[in-house]
Chains A and B, each alone.
Chain A
Amino acid sequence: MTTPKGYMGKIMMVDLTTGAIETEKISPKVYQSFLSGMGLAAHILYHRIPAGADPLGQENILGFVSGLLTGTGSLFTGRWMVTGLSPLTGGWGEANCGGSFSPAIKRCGVDGIFFKGISEKPVYLCVDDQGARLETAEAVWGKDAVEAETALIEKHPNARVACIGQAGEKRSLISGVSTDKGRLAARSGLGAVMGSKNLKALVLAGKKRIRVHNREEMKRLSKICNKWVQFQPPFVPGWLTAPVGALMRILPFVATQDGLLYKIMLRKWGTVSMNQISVEMGDSPIKNWMGSSADWGFFKSFSSQPDRFTRQETEKFHCYSCPLGCGGICKTKGRFPETHKPEYETVLSFGGFIMNKDVDLIFYLNELLNRAGMDTISAGHAVAFAMECYEKGIITTGHTGGRALEWGDPDDIKFLVEAMVARDGIGDLLADGVKRAAESIGPEAEAIALHCAGQEPAMHDSRNDPGFALHYSVDPAPGRHTNGAGLYYEMYQLWKKVKGVPKMGPAYMKSSKYKKDIHHARVGKANSVYLNVMNGAGACLFGGFIGATRIRIFDWLNGATGWQFTPEDYMEIGANIQVLKQAFNIKQGLDPKTCRVPDRLLGRPVQTRGANKGRTVDVETMMKDYWELFGWDRETGRPTEETVNRIASIA
């Protein structure tokens, strides 16, 4: 057999019940059909998690995978992913994270590390020169993610660590996995799966080389990409971003977005650059999706203007192989000396979404939740849910231990989040997300619990970009904003590289975004498929936004592996991965129709003011069109048996 290039050709399977650790060879055919990363994980989990498995039980398999392009000299390809049966949705679970952990997986000689069974006592996996072994985690169990990582690195110098905090240990269904002291693979509740397995951490100190077919070609392509990243003309000061958003709201047409603009903002500020633009243009939901840009205008959102964050930034944070560096380390006031720069999602879900203007509080909550390993998107929704329930009299001071909850009150917010981390009182209820909380409160609360099959959607308004409504609803891991959107498609500029995908001109009328036509479904399919390729490659979404001719994922994949696939071949691979993930959900009994976004997010009832005034999204038709384009049943979203069998039989 020829030596694998780009990928490592093996996975590690750890049985936590018996303590057995095995390395398995994976056939090159599997990589050629599903790539590595999320595609490889979909292949492994589809076959090995039995139907009806308990997400927090013995049968669930938790996988940590690296991307095919990680460590090959390509750029923006340092993402690692955690996958499993999600306890939050009962279907396909995935979360994606940057930092320095992705190459660490491959340096252990494998593309993925999978865990089955449940350990009797808390353990962590250590892989180094001496091989792979499980060690007792008694000393770090109970510690937060930053403390645990620090302690483990002290014991294993130069290792890379992924671990859970208290939230995962306490099986909060909105918990994730942390790495690099507070960067979180947050979604799908996979921290709870790790907690349920009594697995505290992965400590990886392998040093294997990652082989590449044509390193010079990889470098050539990387230099092209880097040239665009380093292009950094001056941009407006932070306080002027809001007027830019307002202008985008007012104009009746939209210039097809070139991701270079976003790149410039990311380089300057990071994702917080979008804080005020999003509010103004109607992309950011306000007050649990009830409010609008009219309720959270320039002055109210001003405390979150992007310069406010860079002022506290002491250094930029680059993930592995990232030339851009959108992350940062910020000093903070109060209990924690520093924190990763809060991301857009965190700032908005603890900002306008709960009517909070106190940015120091956001810094505090960011670090608190990073350390606990809890998803800030879902946590923000839980707080908003509690506040709306209280306002409507659905919960009372009886539930809150005597506290009156008020929108935007910093003390109330702090109280709720701290209670969630501690799983104390009402926090215990909210720590499993809004769906579980509403189920135990009662039917009135269920109308306020906004989720897609259990997962809270993110801070991007589906009434502004119907693409979000579609992807929140149709993705096998629903409710996630990284799956796709109309805007993403514009920035990918896929039509410049791939034949047969919808082309876009330099500008279009805004009203066309809300028209019922097949275009949206075609864009949606291309989005999903390309994202699967990126997730197989371990590529960063923000890198993808720079545009397919500037970030040459397809060419890098060929350069790393020696394959000679066309972009269309890779898109076919992406489509196959989507089938496998959808089939995973069907196998686990998650009905695709039930993943639809709740009515409030679709403009039902319609908003009477603000950026999204008068807009409704017919997501049902969009979903059907999308399923049909994949060749699935238009009414049920089920892939045909032949399709599933054809793809599942690849081994």
Chain B
Amino acid sequence: MAYTISNECIGCMACAKICPTNAVTGEKKQIHAIDPAACIECGACGRVCPSRAVLDHFGLAFERIPKKEWDCPQFDLKTCMSCTICLDTCPVSAISQALLLKGNPHLFPVLADEALCIGCGFCAGDCPADAVTMVPRNRESRTEETEKA
């Protein structure tokens, strides 16, 4: 299954630019198309589309959400087991690792640059320990959480 683009498309290229797998093809001002073999259903195209032209596999259109309101992952370091599944599953390689807890030699995931994150939530969905939750972007509160842990 893959997402599709409807006739509402205005050919603005926003989805093509953000697609992490280069699955969107199409010229400017022409209706774009999604290559079903390449689409990973991250939904980034839908979140940037200004004309509600991206449909999920139920045929429902995505609402555009301003980027500053996108969710991004927050890691609960107490439940995290450093398994790196989130690092691998992230389609834009936005997650890296660092020594975050004093005296603990295990590396923990960190979203160093929020701007890289496309808010797909794969990291939260795939985490076997349920240590990742998607929260609204707000650097201050996320940092606090990390420090508390």
Chain A residues near B (Cβ < 8 Å): 71, 73-75, 100, 103-104, 107, 129-130, 157-158, 207-209, 215, 218-219, 222-223, 226, 229-230, 313-316, 318-323, 325, 328
Decide: B128 and A222 in contact? CB cutoff 8 A. Answer: yes
Decide: B126 and A323 in contact? CB cutoff 8 A. Answer: no
Binds A, one of B43-51, B64-72, B77-85, B135-143: B77-85
Identify whether the interface residues of A are mostly helix, strand, loop, or mixed: loop
Decide: A226 and B129 in contact? CB cutoff 8 A. Answer: yes
Decide: B84 and A219 in contact? CB cutoff 8 A. Answer: no
Residue with the highest number of chain B CB atoms closer than 10 Å, among A107, A314, A319, A323: A323
Decide: B84 and A321 in contact? CB cutoff 8 A. Answer: yes
Q: Inside 8 A of A315's CB, which chain B residues have their CB?
A: 99, 105-107
A582 to B37, CA, bound (A): 38
Q: Inside 8 A of A158's CB, which chain B residues have their CB?
A: 93
A134 to B21, CA, bound (A): 20
B30 CB, min distance to chain A CBs, angstroms: 21
A100 to B81, CA, bound (A): 16
* Inter-chain residue pair count (beta carbon < 8 A): 76
> Is B41's CB within 8 Å of the partner chain A?
yes
Q: Inside 8 A of B85's CB, which chain A residues have their CB?
A: 73, 320-321
A321 to B91, CA, bound (A): 17
**Contact A218:B128 (CB < 8 A) given known A320-B85, A322-B83:** yes
> Is B8's CB within 8 Å of the partner chain A?
no
Q: List 27 A-B contacts (CB under 8 A).
A: A71-B88, A74-B128, A75-B81, A100-B84, A104-B88, A129-B21, A157-B93, A207-B21, A207-B40, A209-B41, A219-B128, A223-B128, A226-B128, A315-B105, A315-B107, A316-B82, A318-B82, A318-B83, A318-B106, A320-B83, A320-B84, A320-B88, A321-B83, A321-B128, A322-B83, A323-B82, A328-B105
A325 to B105, CA, bound (A): 10
Decide: B105 and A75 in contact? CB cutoff 8 A. Answer: no
| Nearest CB in chain A to that of B122: its residue | A209
B102 CB, min distance to chain A CBs, angstroms: 13
A463 CB, min distance to chain B CBs, angstroms: 36
**Contact A73:B81 (CB < 8 A) given known A315-B99, A315-B105:** no
> Is B22's CB within 8 Å of the partner chain A?
yes
Interface size class of B (residues with CB under 8 A): 20 to 34
**Contact A219:B130 (CB < 8 A) given known A75-B83, A100-B84:** yes
Decide: B105 and A73 in contact? CB cutoff 8 A. Answer: no
Q: Inside 8 A of A320's CB, which chain B residues have their CB?
A: 83-85, 88
Known: A157-B93, A320-B88. 5 other contacts (CB 8 A): A129-B22, A313-B105, A315-B105, A318-B84, A323-B129
Decide: A316 and B105 in contact? CB cutoff 8 A. Answer: yes
| Nearest CB in chain A to that of B79: its residue | A226
A219 to B88, CA, bound (A): 17
Decide: A100 and B128 in contact? CB cutoff 8 A. Answer: no
> Is B60's CB within 8 Å of the partner chain A?
no
A207 to B87, CA, bound (A): 12
A131 CB, min distance to chain B CBs, angstroms: 10
A206 CB, min distance to chain B CBs, angstroms: 9
| Nearest CB in chain B to that of A158: its residue | B93
B77 CB, min distance to chain A CBs, angstroms: 13
B123 CB, min distance to chain A CBs, angstroms: 12
A103 to B93, CA, bound (A): 14
| Nearest CB in chain A to that of B125: its residue | A215
A507 CB, min distance to chain B CBs, angstroms: 32
A306 CB, min distance to chain B CBs, angstroms: 14
**Contact A208:B128 (CB < 8 A) given known A230-B81, A315-B107:** no
- Chain B, 116-134, contact with A by CB distance < 8 Å: what is the 0/1 string? 0000001001101110000
A74 to B99, CA, bound (A): 24
Decide: A100 and B129 in contact? CB cutoff 8 A. Answer: no
A506 to B142, CA, bound (A): 49
A328 to B105, CA, bound (A): 9
A319 to B85, CA, bound (A): 10
Q: Inside 8 A of B122's CB, which chain A residues have their CB?
A: 209
Q: Inside 8 A of B128's CB, which chain A residues have their CB?
A: 73-75, 218-219, 222-223, 226, 321
> Is B20's CB within 8 Å of the partner chain A?
yes
Q: Inside 8 A of B105's CB, which chain A residues have their CB?
A: 313-316, 328
A73 to B89, CA, bound (A): 10
Q: Inside 8 A of B22's CB, which chain A residues have their CB?
A: 129-130
A141 to B45, CA, bound (A): 40
Residue with the highest number of chain A CB atoms closer than 10 Å, among B38, B88, B129: B88
Decide: A100 and B107 in contact? CB cutoff 8 A. Answer: no
Q: Inside 8 A of A222's CB, which chain B residues have their CB?
A: 128-129
**Contact A226:B81 (CB < 8 A) given known A158-B93, A209-B40:** yes
B99 CB, min distance to chain A CBs, angstroms: 6
Q: Inside 8 A of A322's CB, which chain B residues have their CB?
A: 83-84
Decide: B81 and A229 in contact? CB cutoff 8 A. Answer: yes
A100 to B88, CA, bound (A): 8
| Nearest CB in chain A to that of B38: its residue | A129
- Chain B, 86-107, contact with A by CB distance < 8 Å: what is the 0/1 string? 0111010100000100000111
Decide: A323 and B40 in contact? CB cutoff 8 A. Answer: no
A223 to B129, CA, bound (A): 6
